[in-house]
Amino acid sequence: MGHVRSGTLFLVLFISGLFLNAKSSYWDDREKFIRKEKSRELGADLVLNEKEEKVNEILMNYKLRELDEGMLNPAGYLPAQHFFHSKKAMDKSKVFNLIQKLPKGASLHSHDTGIASEEFLLSLTHKENLYGCERGQNFLLKFFKDNSSLDNSCQWKSLKKMRAQRKDFEEFLRGKLSLVVADPMVKYPDLNSVWRAFINLFRNVGNMIGYKPVFQEYFYQVLKELHEDNVMYMEMRGLLPEVYDLDGKIYSPEEVVGLYVETLEHFKHDYPSFYGAKLIYAPSRHVDNSTVDNYLKILKNIQKLYPDFIAGFDLVGQEDLGKPLSEFIPQLLEIKDQTKFFFHAGETNWEGETDLNLIDAVLLNTTRIGHGYAILKHPEVYRAAKKNRIAIEVSPISNQVLKLVDDLRNHPAAILVADGYPVVICCDDPSFWGAKGLSYDWYYAFMSFGSRDSDLKLLKQLAINSIAYSSLDLVDNSDLLTKWQLSWNTFIDDVLKEHGVMYSKPRSIVDV
Amino acid sequence: MGHVRSGTLFLVLFISGLFLNAKSSYWDDREKFIRKEKSRELGADLVLNEKEEKVNEILMNYKLRELDEGMLNPAGYLPAQHFFHSKKAMDKSKVFNLIQKLPKGASLHSHDTGIASEEFLLSLTHKENLYGCERGQNFLLKFFKDNSSLDNSCQWKSLKKMRAQRKDFEEFLRGKLSLVVADPMVKYPDLNSVWRAFINLFRNVGNMIGYKPVFQEYFYQVLKELHEDNVMYMEMRGLLPEVYDLDGKIYSPEEVVGLYVETLEHFKHDYPSFYGAKLIYAPSRHVDNSTVDNYLKILKNIQKLYPDFIAGFDLVGQEDLGKPLSEFIPQLLEIKDQTKFFFHAGETNWEGETDLNLIDAVLLNTTRIGHGYAILKHPEVYRAAKKNRIAIEVSPISNQVLKLVDDLRNHPAAILVADGYPVVICCDDPSFWGAKGLSYDWYYAFMSFGSRDSDLKLLKQLAINSIAYSSLDLVDNSDLLTKWQLSWNTFIDDVLKEHGVMYSKPRSIVDV
């Protein structure tokens, strides 16, 4: 019996030992699994220094507070709300305030006449010589020398007069300069309708911005607002629109590029810490083959004239309704080796038509992909793009306002970030959704594309990505990165100072 | 000169030849790329026979028509609309009508008291002995022998009387039996609020369905509605609720399983072509450890009593607010080898807390994942789950109504389908969103998870998946698959007949 008992006891001990092992090995396995998974996230490779760790604590304190509030009241969680409703609260968010101050590196995807803030656009409407004209849903704005030189394209009226005559003029004007409305879900029931309104905005402001002095003032302001938002460098998509002066001169595309370069030099002179800007020539995709032939001629000319300023080529406009890249393959192949491509591709909810642009973009060796919203529905494109380190330019607010996604936690970029895909955060057309600079998009990205414990490393990586995936050559790239690193260090110090964290290296025990 | 000329000519020919080669090779590469990508899609491996090809033509004709209408009027596209608004139009859709007739295989994820149609629930409310009671947002329903035997849990009133007294009673009652409202976006502003209403529904109907004769009638009806919707087999998650009779008897969980088995036998006798059903014991996750200990005891008992009927174990309830799997690891490890798991995991928009259930589900070797909505935010879980062929149970309408996603084209299942991940389409709780059977979910899935050219092969694969990833053993699995194949062949013949396609093998030239 004694023998049996001790045998039984041994068996019991052995089995419970096994079981305890099973349990502890479960937690070990789980820990390892989670670590392995987290190591794939964008920014996971970065190591924060002690000061950064302290800033991270401050940041995460704020972030977790906002997340916890969101879990209690999901309807109040900002990334689950339409930007037109969330912006006011965002302005007050501590996370947002930190992001505003953070050196964000580069702005890589925005469109020439949709970038400066709405308030600046409104200020332009007080200029002398500005005329307005209602045409259907549009309210066109244009400068003329005087009443006698008005063109016949529209029934122009002096804006000064309209302003004096119409009581609700400011409100009316606001409605013509941005998409912002009280109930965007009702006003814009689908993607096509919001795009119609969106395109109208470009038409409304196009001729106002096209007036030469305003054109340069506008571009200057674009740079200024980015600079103030702690962005150091910009790559802007530009149509090269018609620019005019009051004497009837129309500037050629080549001259328009010249105006940009002149303004940029002026701005860099005024703000030497701003690194610079480049232009991606990006005319409309709603055109025929011979128009594209003409685009390519212009591209060659401006590349020759301003080799350092021209980053590459793209085609723009609503992808679902515009021409696909496949329409222009011979022309695009022809210039493939003389220019970089930055194609818009996959900015759609549909699968199996518009989104084939993703395949052409990758086959044409695009440098980055604009939006790329549909890329995950194309596993082979994803594989190829990841292998070739083709960054995706994600514009959260744009995708929300232009009706691809409501709750940003459903944005495919959350999956890209979790998988360490090179993402850059962009602002597209902040002008038209009442945003300004890059920070609003960064806030949305930080609060919806990362996990609960995604932290300063993610933000730092997004900044680094924006430089690493820019079209700068190696020398300039490393130069900008160095300058950005200095700003970053200053930012870290500033946050610590502002939060009263006296930074001193922990003294070693030996010192005591 | 002649020499130079012919040399130049040769050079020109050579270069343009190269160029033509580049172009034609571009199109070849593109073709290959698209083929490779399409070959990854769910169902791509299937080869349709000639009859199926003809049915496919009919199906795709209808599908493309609906897609094209959707592209013209995106707000009218059914998968972009809330089910409460799209259902009526869906009933008239030709694609939907085909899907209704299609043998869909198995229904693998639905919950005991949320399956039968709303009209059936309403019909139950006309039974004798039924009493109702308003308590806050709830309207409880329960059977009692007579007025004198009412319990004190509520101020019960005879339903017959209430019906006679209250003019708007039917409308009131409808509001208490489903989530359907005119404006779901306003009524349910976020996930927590819709879940509150949803849980109330289970409470409202729980005691009505718990009355023993009704309990069996209800389960019979569940099977009948699935059978009528061309589903052959079901795996149902069940709480094993309290079942009672008018003499005050409360049935034990083991007896409740007995009632299911008895009803199933009865149903199979009446409808011999129905293959069967199994139960996944799935009690609430909002409990403490000792309650889970009790669950496991019940599980062991019912497994012993009804080994063929019990498929496995799960825990249910709103994941964000309920206990995570990690709370119960010791217990779950203890039964890991004696039962299959079918864990709900990742039914959330949040990242980094609730969704860690996905990691535990995979580490615990779950057989399938319920919902798995967040799986793509966890690349390591995805990799492991794909390697281990863990099917994901996708319930499109549920995910939409319960506020994870609005436009179903944004559902992660579109990515899973494109990548050939084993997906099964489920209905969760059709009762509470005014649906019936599986077809509505299949329609949403077909029209939003596949590409424009995803066709009958996708539908066929979804049906095959539902059988292949069921918990049936190998013999039963192949038996059911054989029976399903016969139904499928009949379906193909019926569609051809109905569409007046006279099918005859193309005669060979020799025969002429």
**A295-319 pLDDT, tens digit each:** 999 999 999 999 999 999 999 999 9
Residues of B in contact with A419 (CB under 8 A): 379
Q: How far, in Å, CA of B253 to CA of B299, rounded?
A: 9
Mean pLDDT of A242-259: 97
Amino acid at the residue B345: A
User: What is the phi/psi pair of residue A256, to 5°?
Assistant: -65, -40
Integer angstrom CA distances of residue A24 from A17, B290, B329? 10, 21, 10
Work out the minimum CA distance from B334 to partner chain A, whole angstroms. Answer: 8
Q: How far, in Å, CA of B194 to CA of A29, rounded?
A: 36
Residues of A in contact with B450 (CB under 8 A): 351
Q: Which of A11-20, A228-237, B363-372 shows the lowest per-residue confidence on average (mean pLDDT)?
A: A11-20
A128-171 residue pLDDT tens: 999 999 999 899 999 999 999 999 989 999 999 999 999 999 99
Work out the minimum CA distance from B375 to partner chain A, whole angstroms. Answer: 9
B351: closest chain A residue by CA: A451
Percent above pLDDT 70 for chain A: 94
Q: Which of A111, A227, A344, A371 is catalytic?
A: A371
Which position has the token pair 């968010």? A93
Contact flag A351-B409 (C-beta cutoff 8 Å):
yes
pLDDT score, position B195: 96
Work out the minimum CA distance from A346 to partner chain B, whole angstroms. Answer: 13
Q: Which of A118, A319, A347, A393 is catalytic?
A: A347
pLDDT score, position A366: 98
Residue A284: both structure tokens together: 């409309």
Q: How many residues does chain B have?
A: 512
Work out the minimum CA distance from B102 to partner chain A, whole angstroms. Answer: 24
Q: How far, in Å, CA of B346 to CA of B357, rounded?
A: 6
Q: How far, in Å, CA of A434 to CA of A427, rounded?
A: 11
Q: How many residues does chain A have?
A: 512
Residue B436: both structure tokens together: 């019936």
B209-262 residue pLDDT tens: 999 999 999 999 999 999 999 999 999 999 999 999 999 999 999 999 999 999
pLDDT score, position B511: 46
Residues of B in contact with A374 (CB under 8 A): none
Q: Of A16, A27, A35, A350, which to mutate for an interface test with B (greatest number of B Cβ within 10 Å)? A: A350
- Chains A, B: CB pairs < 8 Å: 153
pLDDT at A7 over 80: no
pLDDT score, position A507: 54
- Treating both helix axes as pointing N-terminal to C-terminal, what angle do A474-498 and A94-101 enclose, rounded to 10 degrees? 140
CA B482 to chain centre: 22
pLDDT score, position B14: 55
Residue B60: both structure tokens together: 């795709």
Which string of b and e fits B146-165 if b means at least 16 CB within 10 Å?
eeeebeeebebebbbebeee
pLDDT score, position B322: 87
Mean pLDDT of A211-222: 98
CA angle B349, A444, B401 (to 5 degrees): 30
B349: closest chain A residue by CA: A409
**Residue B82: exposure state from Cβ atoms within 10 A (0-12, 13-18, ≥19):** middle
- Treating both helix axes as pointing N-terminal to C-terminal, what angle do A379-387 and B2-38 enclose, rounded to 10 degrees? 120
User: Which residues pair with residue B104 across a beta bridge?
Assistant: none
pLDDT score, position B241: 94
Contact flag A23-B409 (C-beta cutoff 8 Å):
no
Residues of B in contact with A331 (CB under 8 A): none
pLDDT at A2 over 50: no
Q: Which of B27, B37, B406 sits opposite A406 (nearest CB)?
A: B406
Amino acid at the residue B476: D
A189: closest chain B residue by CA: B75
User: Which residues pair with residue B237 across a beta bridge?
Assistant: B111, B280
Contact flag A73-B352 (C-beta cutoff 8 Å):
no
A326: closest chain B residue by CA: B27
Q: Which of A26, A334, A378 sits opposite B418 (nearest CB)?
A: A378
Q: How far, in Å, CA of A155 to CA of A151, rounded?
A: 9
Higher-confidence position of A493 and A12: A493
pLDDT score, position B509: 53
Q: Of A191, A329, A380, A381, which to mutate for an interface test with B (greatest number of B Cβ within 10 Å)? A: A380
Mean pLDDT of A259-286: 98
Higher-confidence position of A507 and B366: B366
Beta strand segments in A31-143, E: 105-107, 130-135, 138-143
Q: How far, in Å, CA of A218 to CA of A208, rounded?
A: 10
Helices and strands counted in chain B (H then E): 20, 14
Q: How far, in Å, CA of A378 to CA of A384, rounded?
A: 10
> Are the CB atoms for A343 and A366 separated by under 8 Å?
yes
ipTM of the complex: 0.93
A373: closest chain B residue by CA: B410
pLDDT score, position B50: 96
pLDDT score, position B510: 52
Residues of A in contact with B194 (CB under 8 A): none
pLDDT score, position B4: 43
Query: How many Cβ atoms are within 10 Å of B275's Cβ, its own excluded?
Result: 22
User: Which residues pair with residue A251 across a beta bridge?
Assistant: A243
DSSP assignments along B61-72, one per residue = HHHHHHHHHHHH
Nearest residue to A393 (alpha-carbon basis) of A419, A410, A412: A412
Q: How far, in Å, CA of A74 to CA of B403, rounded?
A: 10
Q: What is the pLDDT along chain B (512 residues), one digit of tens a residue?
A: 334 444 555 555 555 555 556 678 999 999 999 999 999 999 999 999 999 999 999 999 999 999 999 999 999 999 999 999 999 999 999 999 999 999 999 999 999 999 999 999 999 999 999 999 999 989 999 999 999 999 998 999 999 999 999 999 999 999 999 999 999 999 999 999 999 999 999 999 999 999 999 999 999 999 999 999 999 999 999 999 999 999 999 999 999 999 999 999 999 999 999 999 999 999 999 999 999 999 999 999 999 999 999 999 999 999 999 899 999 999 999 999 999 999 999 999 999 999 999 999 999 999 999 999 999 999 999 999 999 999 999 999 999 999 999 999 999 999 999 999 999 999 999 999 999 999 999 999 999 999 999 999 999 999 999 999 999 999 999 999 999 999 999 999 999 999 998 766 555 555 43
Catalytic positions of B are: 347, 371
Mean pLDDT of A27-38: 96
DSSP assignments along A349-381, one per residue = S--SSGGGHHHHHHHTT-SEEEE-TTGGG-HHH
Contact flag A30-B185 (C-beta cutoff 8 Å):
no
Q: Where is A421: in which H helix or E strand?
A: none
Q: Of A67, A187, A377, which to mutate for an interface test with B (greatest number of B Cβ within 10 Å)? A: A377
pLDDT score, position B5: 47
pLDDT at A1 over 50: no
Q: Where is A286: in which H helix or E strand?
A: none
Which position has the token pair 């530009």? A238
Residue B53: both structure tokens together: 């090809």
Contact flag A351-B406 (C-beta cutoff 8 Å):
no
Q: Where is A505: in which H helix or E strand?
A: none
pLDDT at A512 over 50: no
Q: Which of B19, B40, B409 sits opposite A349 (nearest CB)?
A: B409
Which position has the token pair 């902040």? A430
Catalytic residue status for A266: no
A170-186 residue pLDDT tens: 999 999 999 999 999 99
Query: How many Cβ atoms are within 10 Å of A340's Cβ, its own excluded?
Result: 16
CA angle B396, B399, B403 (to 5 degrees): 145
CA B318 to chain centre: 17
pLDDT score, position A502: 74
A166: three-class secondary structure by DSSP: coil
Q: How far, in Å, CA of A392 to CA of A412, rounded?
A: 11
Residues of B in contact with A379 (CB under 8 A): 37, 40, 415, 418-419
Q: Of B25, B37, B71, B341, which to mutate for an interface test with A (greatest number of A Cβ within 10 Å)? A: B37
Integer angstrom CA distances of residue B211 from A163, B153, B260, B302? 73, 16, 13, 21
> Are the CB atoms for A78 and A89 separated by under 8 Å?
yes
Tell me A322's DSSP state. Answer: S
CB neighbour list of residue B269: distance below 8 Å, 6 or more residues apart: none
CA angle A398, A399, A403 (to 5 degrees): 110
